[in-house]
């Protein structure tokens, strides 16, 4: 069977966008990065590259040997790439300005090795990337070129390193998935035009953090765990690698959450390197991604290593809440609920499919429920049909 290769798809994207070819050249670099890291990960055990380096990174996390290799390989791959003027990486405190990139019109933001906690146990890992057009005309790029909201992405994707190596991306059009044929080092189209399926799927969250969540978040996850949502049966799945959990949700439906905690409302996941690129793909695949108040794609980053922050503002109107995905009744309830304590609103990035336009319902407790000390109906972003049933329609 004559399968489309990744390079052929890049050139199709280029032709359909009547583009100059810069973007497909940049995307091609990510396929090279994917093949190089797939080989590094596979060989890590042979060459003693498992385990820690004894240092910590800008995220205050212990650095693994493969984190360093991944980031070094990223910089090597983009070193002589005149289309790209700068790289922002989860592993680097500052942006990396590429020599000779002054005329480059793109910047890239990358999580070189997501799920590095799985390195020693041969679990799923990934690379997540976002490509933006720079804002400044030319010259050395400024921070403003990097601190762009996800809605301005021109392309985004991820690589999944697991039983097979896959590269999934969108350049503004459909989300396509390619699988690496290691024997010839070529990615072939295996998952064209991915749409998050309606129906059951799984719920994915690290429930070990439950004691740190606020009551609403506890109520929502408890509802999934006890199958109390009207979204049908949901199996609990958690790979401990965002790319792995997101990939399953993209192909099988369901919901992925990394909630904020009472003491750390902004949560763990990084906006530029993790949430924005995956939110871009999620929406292109018919799903929704929110921090509980607004589309993740509308959050304008204020610093490089920002975690999806707490908005701390009440939706200005139920239209605003609607943009954040709440449906009619719950949007108004959300607006009311919020006026009683902006910081009560939980902020947790969630992604999942929804019937067009009604991603999820806000767990706003009605006054009667509050009087009875009960939480509102559970929030969920789940397969379309469930979204309809959750909001009682
Ligand atoms: P990095 O590995 O890039 O730091 O990503 C964070 C991450 O590992 C995600 O991949 C994963 O979903 C999450 O953290 C797991 O966190 P926790 O162990 O707290 O559930």
- How much of the chain, in percent, has pLDDT values that exceed 70? 76
Given this model, what pLDDT does residue 334 score? Answer: 45
Ligand 1, atom 8, residue with closest C-alpha:
115
Q: For residue 67, how far is its CA from the centre of ligand 1 (angstroms)?
A: 13
The model's confidence at residue 242, banded by pLDDT at 50, 70 and 90, is very high
Distance 8 CA to ligand 1 centre (A): 33
Minimum-distance ligand 1 atom for the alpha carbon of 245: 12
Rounded to whole angstroms, the Cα distance separating 243 from 143 reads 27
Same domain, 208 and 167: no
**Residue 197 in domain:** no
Number of the ligand 1 atom closest to the C-alpha atom of 111: 3
Nearest residue to 302 (alpha-carbon basis) of 261, 265, 266: 266
In the prediction, which pLDDT does 333 show? 45
- Picking from 172, 191, 210, the residue at the C-terminal end of a domain is 191
- Tokens matching residue 276: 């924005």
- Ligand 1 atom having least distance to the Cα of 208: 20
- 393 lies in some domain: no
Q: Mean pLDDT in the chain?
A: 81
- Asked if residue 106 and residue 231 are part of one domain, the reply reads no
Residue nearest to atom 2 of ligand 1 (CA): 115
Token pair of 181, please?
């044929």
Question: What range defines the domain where residue 250 resides?
Answer: 202-388
Pocket residues: Cβ below 6 A from ligand 1: 61, 90, 111, 114-117, 206, 240-242, 268
If asked whether residues 207 and 169 sit together in one domain, one would say: no
- Residue where the block lists tokens 């390079």: 7
- pLDDT tens string 139-166: 899 999 999 999 999 999 999 999 999 9
Report CA dihedral (73, 240, 57, 149) to the nearest 10 degrees: 80
Check residue 19 and give its pLDDT: 65
- For residues 75 and 142, state if they share a domain: yes
Q: Is 150 left (phi over 0), alpha (psi -120 to 50) or beta?
A: alpha
Q: What is the DSSP letter of 286?
A: T
* Number of domains comprising the chain: 2
Of residues 14 and 112, the one with the higher pLDDT is: 112
Q: Are 122 and 145 in contact (CB under 8 A)?
A: no
- Predicted confidence (pLDDT) at residue 303 exceeds the cutoff of 90: yes
Q: Which pLDDT tens digit goes with each residue over 161-201?
A: 999 999 999 999 999 999 999 999 999 999 999 999 987 68
- Any idea how long the chain is? 393
Nearest CA to ligand 1 atom 19: 206
pLDDT tens digits for 85-96? 999 999 999 999
Domain end point (choices 133, 159, 191): 191
CB 155 within 8 A of CB 106: no
| pLDDT at 56 > cutoff 50 | yes
pLDDT class of 17 with cuts at 50, 70, 90: low
213 inside domain:
yes
What radius of gyration do the chain's Cα atoms show?
21
Q: Is residue 72 part of a domain?
A: yes
pLDDT band per the 50, 70, 90 thresholds, residue 76: very high
Confidence of residue 365 (pLDDT cuts 50, 70, 90): very low
* Residue 310 banded pLDDT, cuts 50, 70, 90: low
pTM beyond 0.85: no
Look at ligand 1, atom 20, and give the residue with the nearest C-alpha.
Answer: 206
Two tokens, residue 260:
């904020």
- Last residue of a domain, which of 191, 214, 245? 191
C-alpha to C-alpha distances, 245 to 80, 208, 211, 249, 358, nearest whole angstrom: 33, 16, 22, 6, 23
CA of 269 to the centre of ligand 1 (A): 7
109 within domain boundaries = yes
Q: Which of 53-57, 111-115, 158-162, 265-269 has the lowest mean pLDDT?
A: 53-57
- The CATH number of whichever domain residue 212 belongs to comes to 3.40.190.80
User: Which residue of 159, 268, 307 sits with most ligand 1 atoms within 8 Å of its CB, as the best mutation to test the pocket?
Assistant: 268
Residues 257 and 333 in one domain: yes
186 plus 259 within the same structural domain:
no
Paired tokens of 136: 């400044």
């Amino acid at each position: 069977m004559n399968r489309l290769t990744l390079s052929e798809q890049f050139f199709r994207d280029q032709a359909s966008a009547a583009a100059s070819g810069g973007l497909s050249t940049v995307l091609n670099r990510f396929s090279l990065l994917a093949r190089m890291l797939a080989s590094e990960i596979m060989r890590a055990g042979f060459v003693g590259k498992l385990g820690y380096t004894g240092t910590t990174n800008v995220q205050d996390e212990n650095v693994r040997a493969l984190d360093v290799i991944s980031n070094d390989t990223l910089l090597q791959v983009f070193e002589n790439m005149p289309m790209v003027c700068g790289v922002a990486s989860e592993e680097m405190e500052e942006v990396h300005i590429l020599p000779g990139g002054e005329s480059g019109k793109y910047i890239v933001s990358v999580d070189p090795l997501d799920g590095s906690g799985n390195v020693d146990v041969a679990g799923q890992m990934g690379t997540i990337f976002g490509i933006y057009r720079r804002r400044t005309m030319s010259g050395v790029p400024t921070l403003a070129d990097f601190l762009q909201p996800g809605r301005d992405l021109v392309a985004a994707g991820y690589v999944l390193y697991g039983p097979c190596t896959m590269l999934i991306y969108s350049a503004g059009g459909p989300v396509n998935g390619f699988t690496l044929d290691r024997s010839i080092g070529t990615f072939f189209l295996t998952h064209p035009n991915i749409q998050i399926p309606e129906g059951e799927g799984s719920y994915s969250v690290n429930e070990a953090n439950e004691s740190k969540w606020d009551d609403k978040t506890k109520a929502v996850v408890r509802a999934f765990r006890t199958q109390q949502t009207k979204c049908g049966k949901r199996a609990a799945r958690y790979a401990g690698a965002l790319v792995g959990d997101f990939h399953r949700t993209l192909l099988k439906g369901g919901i992925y959450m990394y909630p904020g905690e009472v003491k750390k409302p902004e949560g763990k996941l990084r906006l530029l390197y993790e949430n924005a690129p995956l939110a871009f793909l999620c929406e292109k695949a018919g799903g929704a991604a929110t921090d509980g108040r607004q589309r993740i794609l509308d959050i304008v980053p204020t610093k490089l290593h920002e975690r999806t922050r707490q908005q701390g503002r009440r939706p200005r109107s139920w239209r605003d809440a609607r943009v954040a995905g709440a449906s009619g009744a719950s949007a108004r309830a959300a607006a009311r609920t919020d006026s009683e304590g902006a910081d009560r609103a939980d902020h947790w990035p969630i992604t999942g499919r929804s019937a067009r336009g009604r991603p999820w319902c806000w767990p706003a407790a009605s006054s009667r429920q509050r009087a009875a000390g009960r939480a509102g109906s559970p929030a969920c972003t789940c397969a379309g049909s469930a979204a309809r049933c959750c909001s009682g329609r």
